[in-house]
Structure 1
Amino acid sequence: MAGASVKVRGKVLALSNLDKVFYPESGFTKGQVIEYYRRVSRYLLPHLKDRPITLNRLPDGVTGQRFYEKNAPSYTPDWVKTFPIARSNDGSMIDYILINDLPTLLWTANLANLEMHPFLAKAPHVDCPTMVVFDLDPGDGADILRACEAAFLVKNLLDRLNLRSFAKVSGSKGIHVHVPLNSAVTYEASQPFAKSIAVALATEHAGFIVAEMPKSKRAGKVFIDWSQNSEHKSTVAVYSLRARVDGPFVAMPVSWEELHQAVAREDGRGLFFTPEAALARLAKSGDLFAPLLKLKQKLPKPFLQLMKDPPKNSPLGGALESYRRKRDFSKTPEPPPSRLGSASANGKLFVVQKHAASRLHYDFRLESSGTLKSWAVPKGPPYDLNERRLAMAVEDHPLEYARFEGVIPKGEYGGGTVMVWDIGTYELIDGNYWQGKLHVRLHGKKLRGEWILVKGRDRSGKDNVWFLIKGGSAMRRLSPKQEDSSALTGRSMEKIAHARDAVWHSNKENPQAALEIRRAAPALDLEDLPRAKVEFIEPMLAEAVSELPENGAQWLYEMKLDGYRCLAGKDKRGVKLWSRRGNLLTKDFAAVAQACAELPDDTLLDGEVVAIDHRGKVSFNLLQHHRSQAQAIRYYAFDLLVYQGRSLCDRALVERRKLLANLLDGMSEDIKLSESFAAAPADLIRSAKQFGFEGIIAKRKHSLYKPGKRSGDWVKFKVHCAQELVVGGYTPDHPFDALIVGCYEGGRLHFVAKVRNGFVPRVRQEVYQKLKALVTDECPFANLPEKRRTMWALTREEMKNCVWLKPQLVAQIEFTEWTPDGHLRAARFAGLREDKSAREVVREAI
């Protein structure tokens, strides 16, 4: 058998048995396998980088015996990177290979590792998957086209959750749907999310989808395998070869349109890619999976909550249990482990809190596995190289505790003053917590550089003795003023203790006493806040949700106003209005600018400019096209970002709102406070529909203002109007692009909307079957063609592309509002109404 010794980027590889046939049906050899991986490496390696790999070795090719190998072999070269991970059963370590470079990739290929199976997470954060994966596996009697149909169902459900998804053919007969996350999430959230999607679809499509493991239940159906979203499981990588007897084929990304065309043609042959076809496609189209490397998305909040309140028998539940036991959260104003904190986009969170409890010490905390691993350092962090300080491991804290600064009442656990002494992000250079060594690089406001945590031994037998050691290089010591100043507010320990602005007494026995305490709380001390200029700040954004949070004790609710997002600022130079993108709106809304001239200097508001119609309702159409016809143009302010030259972004929302309400009291009618409501979400939704609001915004009462971030601390719920409409035509595609709908006025059918949204592949096909029987040559709409070209209109030219129908079918259509010229805005298909007569469909009052 032929062999060769080659040098690849400075590493010598001894390649063996290059002419050995690995795929007998095609004659594809081991040498061709290695050459394929060399040529595809520029696309493949970014998707493997830092991901532990399970080797899938077939030394005798696809017809021989295969074995999976997790532990790096004893003969692994020292230049091959590995990462240790504890076994799930006995805690012993497995050294997984990391394929981070071309020499390692070719070395593993020479081991007959035909398939690349990486983790969904990256080292060192192996508990934090960067994506969710759904493996759609057709059972006996089903094929890849059936898997495509299932993939569209998954995609549609993900679309409704505002999550982008990407498809790849598995290289076998299945489809994989990937949902990139690249955000602070653990498997405690991602696996239940994946399972819930699978179970929901299996319930709704019981004759087509199955979410259970037994193969006996899969015949003729598609199994949605959600179980791969697990800490110790791996999934075949994009651009990996597959070990199929009829191969080789490649796991290849495809567009949703390609899957759609395959289903429409009822031909799945184009969904199998040989190595040469894969390389040619990559050269032409590039990496369709490149967005998975950077696209940041968040799972719905109920699943993120599982990271904070996991089951009692989960590792995370145990990690926080000692913290829960020591604190009575009806007394202690430290946050309970119930809300999710977030890591920075550039690394995980670290914080050092100066804590004057029974003894002054520093609490050193690192984000890990959804908690804050914590050590009490009596003398504070060391500055001199190799200097070490005692660090006693204490119970894990919830992530929210990282920004707690205030006073814990005496008599309660940890009673005393707490300062956020330093905060930032960290990188793990080497080691892990369970090995008893953590070598980290800190990027804080005070601490910058390398420190090492090493577990020690205590003669008394205690297991919590560690040492914090300065690594890398020495650091200049801080000045006395820096030592006694908060990284968040600049305050000293004395000022924090005096302010007591984070003290929260929950007195359930005597609500009046609690109210008196709140009234007696000290006013905001502006001198303690950081200075800020009045200039454009990227507005904080809200995440879309399918249901509103119910806990009124933690949330404020506002009506979602359908207007232009607008920052309003005033300084000595005058007033400026900025759009969400930073464009100036001052001249466009002169009356609003004039009203804002009454604001104090160096003040910046966030809010919405809206148009009010003759009925007193908000109208986006008037704002956009007919401002002169509006009864009023008003600015509704909902947040205060800068006040008298001081930034309020790091203060709680309730504090900002209280100051805003006082500020706007007695000002011009053209600038109003956007009111918050204390009501049940269901009541708010009914009111929003009744009064024509776009939806509801819910905000955490203690949320900070995070410029440019779409934070889960603010969420939005859209309310859609709906009514029945007659289907009078469609625009053709695969099988149709949009329904053309209308209602009767004076006995004649009038066109009102083109409806493109709201269809899943199955429903689209079902609707199309009903449309085919109603095709006619005559247009049923009396008001067509429309002369004025707008985004909603149907002109004579556009009508040439329409297929007309006998007006017999009735559909339920959701929308946001009627436009003044009789069209629907944001129309969406909700379903067919076979119980309704088409002739009875007229425009309904809203």
Structure 2
Amino acid sequence: MSSLRRTAEKELQISNPDKVLYPAGKFTKADVARYYERIARFLLPHFRNRPVTLKRYPNGVFGEAFYEKDAPGFTPRWVKTFPVPRREGGPDINYILINDVRTLTWAANMAALELHPFLHRVPRIERPTNIVFDLDPGKKTNILQCAEVAFLLRDVLTKLRLKSFPKVSGSKGIQLYIPLNTAMTYDATQPFARAIAEVLEKAHPNKIVADMAKNLRVGKVFIDWSQNADHKTTVGVYSLRAKRARPYVSMPVKWEELTIALKKADVDLLEYEPEEALHRLTRVGDLFVPVLKLKQKLPKEFASLSKERPRRKTPPALVDYRAKRDFARTKEPVPELPRSSAQGSRRRFVVQKHAASHLHYDFRLEMHDVLKSWAVPKGVPLRHNETHSAFQTEDHPVGYLEFEGIIPRGEYGGGTVMVWDIGTYEVVEGNYWKGFLSIFLAGKKLKGEWTLQRIESEEEKTRWLLRKTNGDAGVIPANANDVSALTGRAMEKIAADKSTVWSINRNGEQGGGVLKKKPVNSRRRTATPRFVKPMKATAVSELPEGDEWIYEVKWDGYRALALKHGNDVRLLSLKEKNLTSDFPAVREAVRGINADSAVIDGEVVAIDSKGCPSFQALQNRASSGRTWQIVYYAFDLLNLDGEDWTKRPLHERKQKLRELVADSEVRYNAELAGSPTSIVRTIQSAGLEGIVAKQRESVYRAGTRVTSWRKFKIDKSQEFVIGGYKPNAGIFQSILVGYYDRKKLIFAGKIRQGFNPSTRRRLLETMRPLLTAKCPFDNLPSSRKSHFGEGITAEEMKELCWLKPELVAQISFTEWTDYGLLRHATFHGLRDDKEPRAIVREL
């Protein structure tokens, strides 16, 4: 073992060293740690005293990932941090500083595959040491086009007497660094970078774009100048990347190497796997050494913009208080409920002492907009390796986190509830859905690491093991053990106070519960509204005519029921999947309707400034930018203040619905005026998906497909079930889709269009867990191939990968062939709001 490894592991053991993080080549967590140990002497000089954002992949490159800005509560004391003020105000972010090999190895142990440092060093966080241009290839371009643009950039910078140094990003682009190491601030560097990018865009409009809108980047290279800001980070030199199944390194290159790659038109010359990167360093050394030392100044017109901006200071009265505390580890003082962190993995937890039919403790973790809950009869274990059974119970609404009071006798869980402990938790490792979590709790009483492991089911109750790990918990003082962490009250005092009552739906409906603070004899509120299975329209090839029909726009989005109860709003898909946390703007809009309790049927849609929808923008909303707005179009009212409206005629339901949403941000899906022919013409010219015709007197028949509602699509498109794919070079060439005819899945065609590298990677990640040896299609193999749209022969079937039929995709196409196959089909995205067995051929 090397001396570096001994230093790194002096206080650190690599957990789960054999866990595969990159599936291609089976590159494990131990391999990641070993790479960072060996690269450390080259990497650390570039990272020293730079705040770093960690991009963590606890379950590997194809698992869920998140950015960790704030140092986790389980950060060891020897890891250096630096507080940086938030742009929006509030408590500082305590960024990690990777100044030594031990911290680097610790980050690797957290599966921090990518390391993203700032351009500045602490404490001068207003002063970047470099300028960076991030060259990002748009569709139909690659790293070679980025190399061409890098040379154009170098030419301009050379005329300004500025030297520049390129590195490949380790993904698909190139980054160009201009060392400064002088008293320049971001006030000068960002305007300079933007001006250079815009000059080049004007000179080479067919090659370069300086605008961030992705739709402008097709066939061009985007020069991202915006990275030159005090709140932006760029992937660090020698960092691994987690973009593909195999690890690649963000590596400095020589200008001559870019020239050779361009001459040979070979992108592989600009890709470096870890072993190759390490070997290269022993051969050519660190090409970025000049970036550390070279001093350069910007032209005078930009240098004059550089002004030192004072950092936000700590109020004088708190200087001593702050100096004596490490805020990466302590939450004191806690004048209010703990807040979850949008920066990383920090979320809230609560342990409630619950005197119901049997005294027990309820352990709850905030997760996916609900509280995942367990009943722990013996309480949370406190001694190292002590293990207690934890029986999973129904999810609770997040509002239950602060509940302390009484659940009335006769209701589910009736008894007295105390907030025994409350605080935040962070995931150290694991995945709830896979049945294992290692978590760090930072509560008022509990501090340290615990694990939760799912083992079996007992009498329909899922059993987990809650185990204390990594040492004993801190001693809880006797006077604190039997009183509330919120109010300091004992169970007897809480039971005697009748002002706080939690009312629960007797059917144990998920999220059903209302915190009430009221006189004992006050009137009960309306019961929590329940999910109603949506009614479905029948597809038709022409619209019906007559005064008994009304016509509405058919939106291309997610069908969703909005359930409002007081200030609580839930959005549920066709499959009753909770979409609330996915669409916060819609949740806030529904809160504004003029009703205390309601169930509304509608569609979540992404629209541009002209009101045109895009299903792809809805799917990619996290990266779609401000040009797309997420809205909710309401078209039916199913329940109002506890009263069932489904038996009333449609025109009455819509009239009332219009009144309810009039003063809110919810959009009313109004009736279209005119004849069917003129309506079709209008919808077609507006670029909308289609029209739904509904009988004015129709009632709402929950969960059924009816002919009183008929949908007419302008363009041919529908949902299909994915049953397999054709692999190609570690990814896939096409997907195989079908539809159900009675209980048989019928093959409908191969889909090759509609994929970019990102969607291919994400879709493959989703498909892999569903691999199976059995072909799910009833009508394969085909005996022949058609001219339009291919069948599949028995020989070709040997080359295909089959899937369990659990994924639904939105597909557009030009026509059905005579052989029953799709022609010119295009993938538009997955539909997780649709049930596979409900997918049939529509026309």
TM over 0.5: no
Q: Classify the TM-score, shorter chain.
A: 0.3 to 0.5
Q: Is the radius of gyration larger for structure 1 or structure 2?
A: 1
